[in-house]
């Protein structure tokens, strides 16, 4: 028992979590006693002391948990001058499911940890959405009160954004990106493990907020001040949870940037990188630059809430609009953080499934970078009705509209990629095509929202709810499904059930549109969002939307069943079931522990389908590699 408690792992982490909480409680009790504030009264702890202990524990106890887990063991050994365990990949790989519950530095293990964890929180978030829709099935109050309802949609959005869409992309890329560029692992494996383990902390914190005194955070995922600075303690579960999710995000993004810049295989020039790599390169730039802003906005809230600062107290010269500016300076680029990796996935899937090179490869890469740049110039379009200075709305409208141009280039190039291809209409392809159509619709409603007079009317209505779900569900989530199905054989070594995959797609596609399509109508008719109760005239549509959403929820279970059952007993996958050219398909499924037995050499573009004798990479070190076809090697450069 003592040995288990001393060894790094979840047992020791649990122990440290308890110790950390006691540590925080001791500090608060000691400080309150020293200043003469009461701690205990009426046989119980006074609420202020209880909140203080809770708040400090939220900040500090997770760090104890990480120490207990062993995330910092190497650095502690090193700092103490003890013998460190060299990072020789000997701890790599997972031989049983238990290996996924410890600190592991293998990017493939971490990738699966990321994907499974984020889908776990996606199911929780989805369940919350079902509860929201059940409440909204009829006007008036059904079964939750106003506070619980506000909590449901707030936690739903926060989990879906910070614990699902952003990290699931990081997880997929964690798995396939080093393989795609011919690297044995990520650049910083220990940092990679630390990034992952901060994620469940954030997720558990946000989910656990329902048990906080006064209920969960209920100010929306936007947490606008001063509502958030005057809310019950549950708000802090968001404020501090976001810090952990954000730190995880930033560390992973740095890791991707360094990996992509320094660890490409010989011959893998930037213009030979698969577009998924380009997409994650662009996303990581966005994350590294933008995410500190949401951290700042939430620290402002924390300081106002806990320390009595005056960032958002107008009577003390605070500025309430500043919160929105700082928040959206992250949260608009965050929309692209949640979309660009999906663009990368779609480019991979479409090229392979249409058996054609990506149309306009360089423009595809340039348009990603254009979106990164323009993404920082549009944030105030979320604030057209906020009361900010009027003139700034016009430049923000123009940049918002213009950002549709690089996005349009991508859509049209994908369509041109389909043209005259040999389309394999299997599950990943269905999701990719579903994405193109649904995301176009979400993009169009985005352009509608960019038009200031239109936005003034529809902002804060269900039109917004419809728009963001077309972008994040029909957009991001469809690409996630495409990617998960596409790389499932590589990640698990098994084939998924194609029939169930198609059922999943069609069920989702139909019920998705039935759920979110009518929201455009009720929104323009005047139904505000974030309300538990609504006017009688919206009752019929809302009932229809709720029923559709339950079907949508069920369709997710088809996916989960397919994944679990196929992973356990699916047909064995060959190394390259899709006949793809990119490097991850040139190794076994799942890949060997060290990815490549010999570092490969890249001799051509990644999508040279239809070019006779095409080769992307040779599984030999550079000095032994003899590119046989000069034409295949250079046609990507010539083609554009």
Partner 1 sequence: MGLEERSLAQTGPRPERPHARADWKQMLGIGIVASILGVVAGLLIDWFPIAASNEAKPIDTLWDVLIIASVPVFVGVCVVVLFSVIKFRMRDGEEELDGPPIHGNTRLEVIWTAIPAILLVGLCTYAFIVLEDVEKAQANTMEVRVVGEQFAWTFFYPNPDGSGEEIAATRGELYLPVNQPIKFNLQAKDVLHDFWVPAFRMKKDAVPGMTVSYRVTPNRIGRYPIVCAELCGLGHATMRATAVVVSREDFDAWLEEQANPPEPTPAAGGGGGSGAAADGKQLFTANCASCHTLSDAGANGTTGPNLDETLPGQDAAAIRTSIAEPSVEIVDGYTNIMPNDYEQRLGAEGVDALAEYLAEVTKEG
- Interface of this chain with partner 1, residues 193 to 232, rule: CB under 8 A: 214, 218-220, 224, 226-227, 230, 232
Q: How far apart are CA 317 and CA 324, in angstroms?
A: 16
Handedness of CA 288, 289, 293, 299 (dihedral sign): positive
Q: Which residues contact 95 (CB under 8 A, 6 or more apart)?
A: none
Q: Rounded to whole angstroms, what are the CA distances from 562 to 116, 208, 483, 503?
A: 14, 29, 15, 10
In the bound state with partner 1, the residue whose beta carbon lies nearer, of 38 and 610, is 610
* Residue from the set 36, 81, 86, 453 that interacts with partner 1 by CB under 8 A: 453
Q: Rounded to whole angstroms, what are the CA distances from 256 to 36, 225, 547, 602?
A: 50, 34, 41, 20
Which three-class secondary structure string do you get for 157-170?
Answer: HHHHHHHHHHHHHH
Handedness of CA 229, 233, 235, 239 (dihedral sign): positive
In the bound state with partner 1, the residue whose beta carbon lies nearer, of 186 and 429, is 429
* Closest approach of partner 1 to the CB of residue 271, in Å: 12
Which three-class secondary structure string do you get for 458-498?
Answer: HCCEHHHHHHHHHHHHHHHHHHHHHHHHHHHHHHHCECCCH
* Residue from the set 19, 46, 296, 363 that interacts with partner 1 by CB under 8 A: 363
Q: Applying CB under 8 A, does 143 fall inside the site for partner 1?
A: no
DSSP 3-state assignment of 573? coil
Piece of 5-13, 108-116, 561-569, 606-614 that binds partner 1 (CB under 8 A): 606-614
Query: What residues from 49 to 108 belong to the interface with partner 1 (CB under 8 A)?
Result: none
Phi, psi (degrees; rounded to nearest 5) at 594: -100, 20
Q: Applying CB under 8 A, does 48 fall inside the site for partner 1?
A: no
In the bound state with partner 1, the residue whose beta carbon lies nearer, of 79 and 385, is 385
Note the Cα 234 to chain centre separation in Å.
23
* Residue from the set 59, 258, 296, 423 that interacts with partner 1 by CB under 8 A: 423
Q: Applying CB under 8 A, does 392 fall inside the site for partner 1?
A: no
Q: Applying CB under 8 A, does 540 fall inside the site for partner 1?
A: no
Pattern of binders to partner 1 over 149-168, x per CB under 8 A?
-x------------------
Q: Which residues contact 90 (CB under 8 A, 6 or more apart)?
A: none
Would you tell me how many other CB atoms lie within 10 Å of the CB of residue 380? 23
DSSP 3-state assignment of 41? strand
* Closest approach of partner 1 to the CB of residue 39, in Å: 23
Pattern of binders to partner 1 over 561-600, x per CB under 8 A?
----------------------------------------
* Closest approach of partner 1 to the CB of residue 12, in Å: 39
Q: Applying CB under 8 A, does 115 fall inside the site for partner 1?
A: no
Helix 189-208 vs helix 234-262: crossing angle, to nearest 10: 160
Q: Applying CB under 8 A, does 369 fall inside the site for partner 1?
A: no
In the bound state with partner 1, the residue whose beta carbon lies nearer, of 14 and 639, is 639
Q: Tell me, by CB under 8 A, how many residues bind partner 1.
A: 97
Q: Which region, left, alpha or beta, applies to residue 223 given φ > 0 means left and ψ of -120 to 50 means alpha? A: left
Query: What residues from 611 to 640 belong to the interface with partner 1 (CB under 8 A)?
Result: 611-612, 631, 635-636, 638-640
Piece of 6-14, 122-130, 350-358, 496-504 that binds partner 1 (CB under 8 A): 350-358
In the bound state with partner 1, the residue whose beta carbon lies nearer, of 234 and 267, is 234
Pattern of binders to partner 1 over 480-509, x per CB under 8 A?
------------------------------
* Residue from the set 70, 203, 234, 360 that interacts with partner 1 by CB under 8 A: 360
DSSP 3-state assignment of 251? helix
Whether 417 and 356 have beta carbons less than 8 Å apart is answered as: yes
In the bound state with partner 1, the residue whose beta carbon lies nearer, of 189 and 360, is 360
Q: How far apart are CA 167 and CA 247, in angstroms?
A: 12
Q: What is the chain's Cα-based Rg?
A: 25
Q: Applying CB under 8 A, does 380 fall inside the site for partner 1?
A: no
In the bound state with partner 1, the residue whose beta carbon lies nearer, of 296 and 447, is 447
In the bound state with partner 1, the residue whose beta carbon lies nearer, of 51 and 195, is 51
In the bound state with partner 1, the residue whose beta carbon lies nearer, of 235 and 562, is 235
């Amino acid at each position: 028992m003592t040995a288990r408690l001393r060894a790094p792992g979840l047992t020791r982490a649990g122990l440290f979590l308890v110790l950390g909480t006691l540590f925080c409680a001791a500090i608060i009790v000691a400080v309150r006693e020293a200043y003469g504030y009461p701690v205990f009264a009426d046989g119980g702890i006074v609420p202020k002391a209880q909140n203080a202990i809770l708040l400090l524990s939220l900040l500090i106890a997770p760090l104890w948990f990480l120490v207990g887990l062993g995330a910092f063991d190497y650095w502690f050994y090193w700092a103490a001058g003890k013998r460190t365990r060299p990072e020789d990949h000997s701890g790599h790989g997972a031989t049983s499911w238990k290996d996924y519950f410890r600190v592991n530095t293998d990017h493939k293990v971490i990738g699966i940890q990321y994907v499974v964890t984020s889908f776990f929180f996606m199911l929780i978030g989805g369940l919350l959405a079902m509860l929201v829709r059940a409440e909204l099935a009829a006007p008036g109050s059904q079964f939750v009160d106003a506070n619980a309802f506000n909590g449901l949609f707030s936690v739903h959005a926060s989990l879906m954004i910070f614990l699902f869409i952003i990290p699931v992309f990081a997880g997929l890329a964690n798995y396939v990106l080093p393989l795609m560029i011919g690297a044995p692992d990520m650049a910083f494996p220990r940092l990679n493990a630390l990034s992952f383990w901060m994620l469940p902390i954030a997720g558990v914190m946000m989910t656990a907020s329902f048990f906080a005194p006064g209920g969960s955070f209920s100010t929306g995922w936007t947490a606008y001040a001063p509502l958030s600075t005057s809310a019950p303690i549950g708000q802090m579960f968001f404020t501090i949870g976001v810090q952990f999710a954000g730190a995880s995000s930033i560390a992973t993004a740095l890791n991707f940037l360094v990996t992509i810049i320094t660890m490409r295989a010989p011959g893998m020039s930037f213009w030979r990188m698969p577009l998924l790599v380009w997409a994650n390169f662009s996303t990581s730039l966005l994350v590294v630059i933008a995410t500190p802003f949401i951290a700042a906005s939430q620290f402002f809230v924390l300081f106002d809430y806990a320390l009595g600062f005056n960032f958002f107290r107008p009577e003390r010269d605070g500025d309430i609009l500043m919160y929105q500016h700082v928040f959206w300076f992250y949260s608009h680029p965050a929309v692209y953080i949640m979309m660009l990796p999906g663009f990368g996935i779609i480019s991979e899937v479409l090229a392979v499934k249409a058996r054609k090179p990506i149309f306009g490869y360089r423009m595809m890469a340039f348009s990603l970078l254009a979106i990164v740049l323009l993404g920082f110039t549009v944030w105030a379009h979320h604030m057209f009705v906020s009361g900010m200075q009027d003139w700034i709305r016009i430049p923000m409208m123009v940049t918002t509209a213009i950002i549709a141009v690089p996005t349009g280039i991508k859509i049209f190039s994908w369509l041109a990629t389909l043209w005259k291809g040999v389309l394999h209409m299997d599950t990943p392809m269905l999701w990719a095509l579903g994405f193109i159509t649904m995301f176009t619709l979400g993009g169009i409603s985005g352009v509608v929202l960019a038009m200031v007079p239109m936005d003034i009317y529809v902002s804060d209505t269900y039109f917004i709810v419809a728009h963001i779900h077309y972008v994040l569900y029909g957009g991001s989530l469809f690409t996630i499904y495409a990617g998960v199905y596409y790389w499932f054989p590589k990640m698990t070594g098994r084939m998924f059930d194609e029939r169930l995959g198609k059922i999943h797609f069609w069920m989702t596609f139909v019920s998705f549109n039935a759920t979110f399509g009518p929201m455009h109508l009720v929104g323009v008719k005047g139904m505000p969002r974030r309300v538990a109760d609504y006017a009688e005239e919206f009752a019929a549509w809302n009932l229809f939307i709720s029923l559709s959403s339950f079907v949508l929820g069920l369709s997710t279970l088809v996916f989960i069943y397919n994944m679990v059952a196929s992973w356990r007993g699916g047909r064995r996958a060959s190394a390259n079931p899709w006949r793809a050219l990119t490097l991850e398909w040139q190794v076994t499924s799942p890949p060997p522990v060290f990815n490549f037995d010999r570092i490969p050499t890249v001799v051509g573009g990644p999508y040279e389908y239809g070019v006779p004798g095409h080769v992307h990479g040779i599984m030999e070190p550079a000095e032994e590699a003899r590119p046989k076809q000069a034409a295949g090697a250079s046609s990507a450069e010539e083609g554009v």
